């Protein structure tokens, strides 16, 4: 299955590895930020409900 | 307008005004680099044009935050903004004052530092010409960066980060003028480009900077 | 020459703080803005001075008539008292430095560096700057902070003189200046409420 | 009804909410196909060996990074001219994504350079201008972070983006002037032309599409988060007044 | 004492606190120098240790004025001086916070910049070691300089002028460690000297700095 | 616990500004310093706080009892109200943050960044810092600058409470705080004259 990368295995694997790591970090931060925003909004909307009575 | 220029110059020459410190910094860079790099004359001669330009650029950079931040902190900028002076003019005048206080003296000092760095004899003329043509752009671009960061406390380093990428073309053409001049190649093209950068930034950036200041005063 | 404010709403930090403020200020009039800390006096004055955009309403300022004095005095510590004033005089193109020094009792200090003055002396110099502008409408933000009783009286006299000469003054202050002809505007009723944000603040509206 | 209607946060939220699942699905699909195709099912280049596989991330990342800046520039212009809040938030959301892509292009390029040119880094014009580009991104993001008031920040970063774009172009030109480099030209001339046409070209195109879709998806998600946070802020502000 | 450390760190990481900007400046120096000097790898490799040390030093330098000036301007320094904290301890803690926010991250970033400047592979270990041993001295000496200039508005450049000469030994030994390490010569002696500078300045300068601050508050 | 000042002379910018000042301040007492702008109130307070050396006379401060509040409030704009106070509480090793927030009416603002407060709100926070110190003798330099009437009353109440608990307060101010038990010391008679400079100022003397 795994292609034979020959003597360039490090360069290729490191490239793909670094790319996936960076993208994973970016996606992770984005998802976390999204969750945070949803939580913050839900909280203030809940408080609104209460004060609106 | 001229009142503002004279005020800024007078403030620069008063105690704590910072005149001469840009020069000192330039000198220090020229001294530190040989200390770090080592004393071989050929290496130094090779890197001299680049180091001189980088030094001039950093010396300029470090005094940028004085252009507007002092006036912002003591409230003068609010008062200037509500005064009859157009903000664009005030920005241009302040950039000019900055150049007179840093860029011009740097240009005059540079040949001396060239000696320290073993700059070849053919290069001196080009060194002076390139600094003369390029440092006004440094002041104007820097004034723009200073206008962006004026509301930020001690934004000195943010200012550097914003301004240095904008300095890249000036730096490249500036150092190129000297290198080409020394080797007898065509130095006029980069010099002309340097002049063009100065002219265009002097004509357009005051508007961008004035807009940024107005936003920051809001 | 009349400053006209109608249904004005002002914002600070993206929030409407005051709304529905209306008043007019004609030659010879003085108006004192009052209200608790944080109600928005500074914000209102800055908006009228043109330093920030208004959120809603009408604001009619006769051109070239305003002079604004903020919390901060805009003094340069390393210029002398005289040099500070001369600079502003030439910015406004007037010739009133001597009068201002006299009026604010600063002649003895004229050659001192502004940085070596005490808090109250600095404030007096800040007010002298205002006189030097030669403008008719003065906007004053807490002008008497740090002033002793004698200096407050001096300042009240200066304002009185300015009004007598056809000037006008709008000021925010917490203390009583003893200005006979000054009217007072309490800003408390104009505090923006949740309901009014919708009307005045395009951004908030879009997001609410 | 004009296009600007969608600059209204509510409309934007509704529309983007409906589109987003599809965009995410398409992203996963195209990126998955492209990368798997490129990594597992393409032959080695006779000169570059297996390193040619790096092209499937290097080139898409580089072009997506450039496009991201273009998006920021357009969004900044819209904000400054028409003051639509969503466009300012789009510019804000695009910057970190663009920076990440720039870093990916830099890192994969460096890793590629080691076997090809015998050095991790060379001051080649393309490489240099991309490094400077990364600095532009960092300055832009830092300015957003440093300014407290969101509208002020949007105005300042907008001005910076416009001025910065001009200088970025100028730098690109200056850098060319300064050094003639090692980097590949503008065409996909790996070796024999016929190779390029299908074996390498097709998966590359799929990857490019995948990266652009990824950019779109991430920017939409981030913009939506920013809008939610602003709404929460607005509610809190209203509460403070009440 | 730890309250002060945590406050300073928290301030540094808050908006406008300047964390990361020292790093950015370091990166910028590493980018600008080749732009000025030219792209030849052999020249760059030769000057890399020196330039990296000069860059780290300048990045450190530029954030020095934050150590005390912010606290001076908003009156906190008056209040700290009248508080039960001994001024010597406060100075040492503030220098430590400065190092954690600039020197340490600089050390970690330096190898990446080494790549950009073609630093030879054998040098990386020595680069890290020398920065680790030397940057705390930069923070402590810098804090002393900042204490001397705390009363001066925007005294950034004066500060540079005062501090840079004091940085010279650190710079020379630091660059020497890398150069010797790369060429296989004895790098331990300059490293030991670097450690000695750090230890001595950490032990003595807080007292000098505290005295300077007390004079400046007068 | 008594603060004792006898024949004190203080200097500013190398010049003696006040001399022969004597007073004492015991537990439960408050003393208000008065005098025109520039007479030397700030200088006197800084000398007592130990920020500058005295020129002559005696100054007896019980150790670990002083808390000083200057013209500037020492607030960090990017820390919240609460974080600002917590820092000073741990510097002084006390646990009074909640009490201080309550007393200065800041509980609603506890999570706001100090930088986004209005002038008066900042000043209130600055005074809360003083309470947090847990020290007995308060030195206050124009504590009510920028405060509205309600906040001045609040502040007077806080001082009264502090005195009732055996504290003491020495303050410079131009306005009337309405503190019943406060005595007043007018500094005008102690202004240094040319003749007295000779006696107090060793440096100047050497040159005269
Ligand atoms: C850090 C190093 C490098 C950087 C920053 C970099 C950057 C870039 C950029 C900006 C592009 C243009 C993408 C576009 O315009 O759409 C590109 C394309 C490309 N790069 Fe690199 N590169 C690096 C190293 C390398 C190396 C070492 C190789 C191979 C030997 C390489 C091969 C290519 C190829 C084949 C293309 C596509 C050319 C085209 O059709 O435009 N790059 N790179
Ligand atoms: N940067 C900011 N962000 C958010 N809110 C702010 C900001 N600056 C001020 N505010 C708030 O705006 C309101 C109005 O402030 P303003 O300074 O106009 O009040 P003021 O009436 O002048 O008060 P004072 O008498 O204390 O000077 C205050 O409640 C203040 O907390
Ligand atoms: N750096 C300085 N150099 C010389 N003289 C100074 C300096 N700073 C202050 N002074 C002078 O010292 C005197 C005392 O100043 P101080 O600030 O103590 O007055 P103050 O009583 O607090 O006044 P205010 O009520 O205006 O605050 C003033 O006359 C002032 O001009
Ligand atoms: Mg106010
Ligand atoms: Mg005082």
CATH code, D86 = 1.20.120
Q: What is the pLDDT of residue D100?
A: 96
pLDDT at C126 over 70: yes
In a domain, D10, yes or no: no
DSSP bridge partners of C34:
C186
- Highest-scoring range by mean pLDDT, B206-215, D230-239, F12-21, F181-190: B206-215
| Surface-to-core class of residue B144, CB atoms within 10 Å of its CB (0-12 exposed, 13-18 middle, 19+ buried) | buried
pLDDT at D195 over 50: no
> Would you say B97 and B12 are in contact if contact means Cβ atoms under 8 Å apart?
yes
CB count within 10 Å of CB B204 equals: 14
| Ligand 3 probe mutation, C78, C111, C114, C116, most atoms within 8 A of CB | C116
pLDDT digits (tens, 9 = 90+) for E98-109: 999 999 999 999
Over the range B87-107, which residues count as b (16 or more CB within 10 Å of their CB) and which as e?
bbebbbbbbbbbbbbbbebbb
Residue E112, both tokens: 């990446």
| Ligand 3 probe mutation, F9, F15, F35, F42, most atoms within 8 A of CB | F42
Residue C124 CA to residue C102 CA, distance in Å, equals: 11
Task: Tell me the shortest Cα–Cα distance from D226 to chain A, in angstroms.
Answer: 7
Q: What is the pLDDT of residue E209?
A: 93
- Which of the four pLDDT bands, split at 50, 70 and 90, describes residue C197? low
Facing residue for D108 by CB, picked from A5, A7, A15: A15
Nearest CA in chain A to D222: A30
Q: Kindly give, in sequence order, each residue whose CB lies less than 8 Å from that of residue B92, ignoring residues fewer than 6 positions away.
A: B140, B202, B206
Q: Give residues whose Cβ lies within 5 Å of ion ligand 4.
A: C 42; F 119
Q: How far is the CA of F34 from the centre of ligand 5 (A)?
A: 11
pLDDT digits (tens, 9 = 90+) for B31-53: 888 888 888 888 888 888 888 99
Judging contact as 3 or more Cβ pairs under 8 Å, the answer for E and A is no
- For the sheet with C66-69, list strands across it: C66-69, C137-141, C168-172, C30-34, C182-186
The ipTM (two decimal places) reads 0.84
Residue D87 CA to residue D92 CA, distance in Å, equals: 9
Task: Tell me the shortest Cα–Cα distance from D240 to chain F, in angstroms.
Answer: 9
Task: Mean pLDDT check: name the lowest of B153-167, B199-213, D176-190, D193-207.
Answer: D176-190
In a domain, D5, yes or no: no
Residue D199 CA to residue C164 CA, distance in Å, equals: 90
Written as one string, the DSSP assignment of chain E is -HHHHHHHHHHHHSTTS-TTHHHHHHHHHHHHHHHHH---HHHHHHHHHHHHHHHHHHHHHHTTHHHHHHHHHTTHHHHHHTSSS-HHHHHHHHHHHHIIIIIHHHHHHHHHHHHHTT--GGGHHHHHHHHHHHHHHHHHHHHHHHHHTTTSTTTHHHHHHHHHHHHHHHHHHHHHHHHHHHHTS--HHHHHHHHHHHHHHHHHHHHHHHHHHHHHH-
- Which of the four pLDDT bands, split at 50, 70 and 90, describes residue E156? low
Residue B64 CA to residue B102 CA, distance in Å, equals: 10
Contacts of D149 in chain F (CB under 8 A): none
Q: What is the pLDDT of residue D191?
A: 45
Residue D236 CA to residue A44 CA, distance in Å, equals: 6
- Higher-pLDDT residue of C207, E95: E95
Q: What is the mean pLDDT of residues E66-80?
A: 85
D148–F contact, CB cutoff 8 A = yes
Q: What is the mean pLDDT of residues D51-65?
A: 88
Residue D25: domain span: 18-42+50-180+195-241
- Total number of domains constituting chain D: 1
Strand, helix or coil for residue D172: helix
Instruction: Verify whether ligand 3 is closer than 6 Å to residue C117 (CB atom).
Output: yes
- Which of the four pLDDT bands, split at 50, 70 and 90, describes residue B98? very high
Q: What is the pLDDT of residue D197?
A: 53
Residue C66: domain span: 2-206
Residue F6 CA to residue F202 CA, distance in Å, equals: 19
Residue B216, both tokens: 């920051």
Sign of CA dihedral D138, D142, D143, D145: positive
Written as one string, the DSSP assignment of B143-168 is HHHHHHTTTSTTTHHHHHHHHHHHHH
Q: What is the pLDDT of residue D190?
A: 46
Q: What is the mean pLDDT of residues E38-64?
A: 85
pLDDT digits (tens, 9 = 90+) for D15-34: 888 999 999 999 999 999 98
pLDDT at C24 over 80: yes
Q: What is the pLDDT of residue F198?
A: 54
Q: What is the mean pLDDT of residues E148-163?
A: 76
Q: What is the pLDDT of residue C196?
A: 64
Q: How far is the CA of E157 from the centre of ligand 3 (A)?
A: 28
Nearest CA in chain D to C208: D231
- Higher-pLDDT residue of D187, B145: B145
Residue B51: domain span: 2-217
Residue F206, both tokens: 């050497």
Q: What is the pLDDT of residue D193?
A: 44
pLDDT at E26 over 50: yes
| Surface-to-core class of residue F158, CB atoms within 10 Å of its CB (0-12 exposed, 13-18 middle, 19+ buried) | buried
pLDDT at B157 over 90: no
Q: What is the pLDDT of residue D188?
A: 46
Note whether C66 contacts B84, CB cutoff 8 Å.
no
Q: Is C192 left (phi over 0), alpha (psi -120 to 50) or beta?
A: beta
Q: How far is the CA of E75 from the centre of ligand 5 (A)?
A: 14
Residue D72 CA to residue D90 CA, distance in Å, equals: 7
Facing residue for B84 by CB, picked from C76, C77, C91: C91
Q: What is the mean pLDDT of chain C?
A: 85
E35–D contact, CB cutoff 8 A = yes
DSSP bridge partners of C191:
C18
DSSP bridge partners of C182:
C30
Q: Ligand 1, atom 42: nearest CA belongs to which residue?
A: D109
Note whether D123 contacts E34, CB cutoff 8 Å.
yes
Judging contact as 3 or more Cβ pairs under 8 Å, the answer for A and D is yes
- Total number of domains constituting chain E: 1
pLDDT at D45 over 90: no
- Total number of domains constituting chain F: 1
- End-to-end CA distance of chain D: give it in Å, rounded: 35
Q: What is the mean pLDDT of residues F74-92?
A: 89
Q: What is the pLDDT of residue C203?
A: 53
Residue F21 CA to residue F44 CA, distance in Å, equals: 9
pLDDT digits (tens, 9 = 90+) for E114-125: 888 888 888 888
| Surface-to-core class of residue C65, CB atoms within 10 Å of its CB (0-12 exposed, 13-18 middle, 19+ buried) | middle
User: Minimal CA–CA distance to E28: which of B164, F168, F55?
Assistant: B164
Q: What is the mean pLDDT of residues F65-86?
A: 87
Q: What is the pLDDT of residue C119?
A: 79
Task: Tell me the shortest Cα–Cα distance from F109 to chain E, in angstroms.
Answer: 19
Q: Which ligand is nearest to the CA of D151?
A: 2
Query: What is the tally of helices (H) and strands (E) in chain D?
Result: 7, 0
DSSP bridge partners of C30:
C169, C182
Q: DSSP alpha helices (H): ranges in A1-53?
A: 9-52
Q: What is the pLDDT of residue D127?
A: 84
Instruction: At C137, give phi and psi (nearest 5°).
Output: -100, 120
Q: What is the mean pLDDT of residues D56-74?
A: 93
Facing residue for D147 by CB, picked from B151, B164, B173: B151
CATH code, C141 = 3.40.50.300
- Residues making up chain E, counted from first to last: 218
Note whether C120 contacts F36, CB cutoff 8 Å.
yes
pLDDT at C45 over 80: yes
pLDDT digits (tens, 9 = 90+) for D80-101: 998 888 899 999 999 999 999 9
> Would you say E145 and E162 are in contact if contact means Cβ atoms under 8 Å apart?
yes
Say what angle helices B156-183 and B41-62 make with each other, to 10 degrees.
Answer: 140
- Higher-pLDDT residue of C141, B24: C141
Q: How far is the CA of F107 from the centre of ligand 2 (A)?
A: 17
- Which of the four pLDDT bands, split at 50, 70 and 90, describes residue C192? confident
> Would you say C81 and C101 are in contact if contact means Cβ atoms under 8 Å apart?
yes
Q: What is the mean pLDDT of residues E36-52?
A: 85
Note whether C194 contacts D239, CB cutoff 8 Å.
yes
Task: Mean pLDDT check: name the lowest of B184-198, D111-125, F11-25.
Answer: D111-125
* Chain-centroid distance, C-alpha D137: 10
- Residues making up chain A, counted from first to last: 53
Q: What is the pLDDT of residue B92?
A: 94
What single DSSP character describes residue D43? Answer: P
- Which of the four pLDDT bands, split at 50, 70 and 90, describes residue E43? confident
Q: CA distances (Å), D117 to each of D54, D181, D184, in order? A: 15, 11, 12
Q: Which of residues 142-181 of E touch D (CB under 8 A)?
A: none
Q: What is the pLDDT of residue D13?
A: 87
In a domain, D8, yes or no: no
Instruction: Verify whether ligand 3 is closer than 6 Å to residue F14 (CB atom).
Output: no
In a domain, D204, yes or no: yes
> Would you say B135 and B106 are in contact if contact means Cβ atoms under 8 Å apart?
yes
The structure's pTM equals 0.86
Q: What is the pLDDT of residue D2?
A: 58
Q: What is the pLDDT of residue D99?
A: 96
> Would you say C72 and B78 are in contact if contact means Cβ atoms under 8 Å apart?
yes
Residue F196 CA to residue F36 CA, distance in Å, equals: 20
DSSP bridge partners of C172:
C33, C141
Q: What is the pLDDT of residue D46?
A: 65
E160–B contact, CB cutoff 8 A = yes
Q: What is the mean pLDDT of residues E64-86?
A: 85
Run of H or E residues at F56 = strand F56-60
Q: CA distances (Å), B104 to each of B56, B69, B96, B162, C110, in order? A: 10, 22, 10, 23, 33
Q: What is the pLDDT of residue F111?
A: 86
Q: What is the mean pLDDT of residues D142-160?
A: 89
Residue F101 CA to residue C9 CA, distance in Å, equals: 31
Strand, helix or coil for residue B186: coil
Residue E152 CA to residue E148 CA, distance in Å, equals: 9
Sign of CA dihedral D4, D9, D15, D19: positive
pLDDT at A53 over 50: no
CB count within 10 Å of CB C22 equals: 13
- Which of the four pLDDT bands, split at 50, 70 and 90, describes residue A43? confident
Contacts of A12 in chain D (CB under 8 A): 50-51, 53-54
Q: CA distances (Å), F202 to each of D53, F15, F205, in order? A: 83, 11, 5
Nearest CA in chain D to E14: D146
Residue C109 CA to residue C151 CA, distance in Å, equals: 15
Q: How far is the CA of F78 from the centre of ligand 2 (A)?
A: 16
Percentage of residues of chain E with pLDDT beyond 70: 95
Q: What is the pLDDT of residue C46?
A: 92
Q: DSSP alpha helices (H): ranges in chain F?
A: 41-48, 81-92, 97-103, 119-132, 149-164, 194-200, 202-207
Instruction: At F136, give phi and psi (nearest 5°).
Output: -85, -40
Q: CA distances (Å), D225 to each of B87, D34, D86, D158, in order? A: 37, 29, 11, 20
Q: What is the mean pLDDT of residues C137-152?
A: 85
Facing residue for E153 by CB, picked from B70, B160, B179: B70
> Would you say D88 and D156 are in contact if contact means Cβ atoms under 8 Å apart?
no
């Amino acid at each position: 299955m795994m292609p034979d990368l020959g003597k360039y295995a490090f360069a290729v694997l490191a490239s793909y590895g670094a790319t996936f790591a960076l993208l994973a970090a970016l996606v992770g931060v984005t998802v976390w930020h999204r969750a945070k925003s949803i939580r913050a909004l839900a909280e203030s909307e809940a408080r609104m409900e209460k004060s609106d009575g | 307008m001229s009142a503002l220029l004279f005020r800024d110059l007078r403030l620069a020459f008063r105690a704590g005004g910072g005149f001469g410190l840009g020069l000192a910094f330039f000198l220090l860079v020229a001294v530190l680099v040989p200390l770090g790099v080592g004393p071989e004359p050929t290496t130094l001669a090779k890197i001299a044009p680049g180091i001189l330009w980088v030094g001039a650029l950093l010396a300029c950079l470090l005094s940028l935050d004085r252009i507007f931040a002092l006036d912002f902190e003591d409230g003068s900028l609010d008062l200037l903004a509500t005064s009859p002076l157009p903000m664009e003019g005030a920005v241009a005048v302040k950039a000019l004052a900055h150049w007179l206080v840093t860029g011009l003296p740097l240009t005059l000092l540079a040949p001396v530092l060239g000696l320290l760095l073993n700059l070849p004899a053919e290069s001196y003329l080009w060194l002076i010409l390139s600094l003369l043509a390029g440092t006004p752009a440094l002041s104007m671009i820097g004034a723009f960066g200073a206008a962006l960061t004026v509301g930020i406390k001690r934004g000195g380093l943010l200012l550097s980060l914003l301004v240095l990428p904008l300095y890249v073309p000036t730096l490249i053409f500036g150092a190129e003028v000297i290198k080409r001049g020394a080797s007898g190649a065509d130095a006029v093209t980069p010099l002309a480009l340097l002049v063009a950068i100065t002219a265009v930034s002097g004509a357009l950036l005051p508007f961008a900077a004035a807009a940024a200041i107005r936003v920051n005063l809001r | 020459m009349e400053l006209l404010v109608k249904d004005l709403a002002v914002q600070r930090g993206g929030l409407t703080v005051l709304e529905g403020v209306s008043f007019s200020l004609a030659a010879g009039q003085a108006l004192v803005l009052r209200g608790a800390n944080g109600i928005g006096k500074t914000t209102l004055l800055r908006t009228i001075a043109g330093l920030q955009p208004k959120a809603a309403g009408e604001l009619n300022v006769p051109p070239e008539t305003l002079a604004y004095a903020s919390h901060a005095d805009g003094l340069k510590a390393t210029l002398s008292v005289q040099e500070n004033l001369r600079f502003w005089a030439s910015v406004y193109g007037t010739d009133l430095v001597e009068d201002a020094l006299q009026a604010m009792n600063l002649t003895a200090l004229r050659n001192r560096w502004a940085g070596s003055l005490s808090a109250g002396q600095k404030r007096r110099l800040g007010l002298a700057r205002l006189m030097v502008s030669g403008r008719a409408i003065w906007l004053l933000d807490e002008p008497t902070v740090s002033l002793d009783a004698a200096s407050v009286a001096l300042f009240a006299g200066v304002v009185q003189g300015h009004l007598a000469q056809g000037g006008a003054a709008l000021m925010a202050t917490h203390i009583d200046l003893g200005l006979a002809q000054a009217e007072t505007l309490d800003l408390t009723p104009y505090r923006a409420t949740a309901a009014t944000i919708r009307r005045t603040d395009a951004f908030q509206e879009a997001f609410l | 009804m004009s296009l600007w209607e969608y600059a209204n946060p509510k409309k934007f939220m509704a529309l983007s909410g409906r589109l987003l699942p599809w965009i995410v699905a398409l992203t996963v699909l195209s990126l998955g196909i492209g990368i798997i195709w490129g990594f597992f099912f393409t032959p080695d280049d006779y000169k570059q060996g297996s390193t040619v596989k790096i092209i499937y991330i290097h080139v898409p990342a580089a072009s997506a990074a450039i496009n991201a800046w273009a998006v920021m520039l357009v969004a900044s212009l819209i904000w400054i001219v028409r003051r639509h809040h969503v466009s300012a938030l789009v510019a804000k959301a695009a910057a970190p994504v663009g920076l990440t892509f720039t870093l990916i292009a830099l890192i994969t390029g460096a890793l590629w350079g080691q076997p090809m040119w015998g050095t991790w880094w060379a001051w080649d014009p393309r490489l240099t201008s991309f490094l400077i580009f990364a600095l532009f991104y960092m300055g832009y993001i830092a300015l957003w972070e440093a300014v407290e008031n969101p509208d002020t920040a949007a105005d300042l970063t907008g001005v910076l983006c416009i001025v910065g774009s001009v200088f970025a172009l100028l730098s690109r030109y200056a850098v060319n002037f300064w050094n003639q480099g090692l980097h590949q030209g503008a065409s996909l001339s790996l070796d024999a032309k016929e190779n390029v046409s299908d074996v390498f070209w097709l998966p590359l195109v799929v990857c490019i599409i995948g990266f652009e879709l990824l950019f779109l998806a991430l920017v939409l998600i981030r913009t939506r988060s920013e809008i939610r946070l602003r709404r929460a802020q607005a509610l809190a502000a209203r509460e403070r007044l009440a």
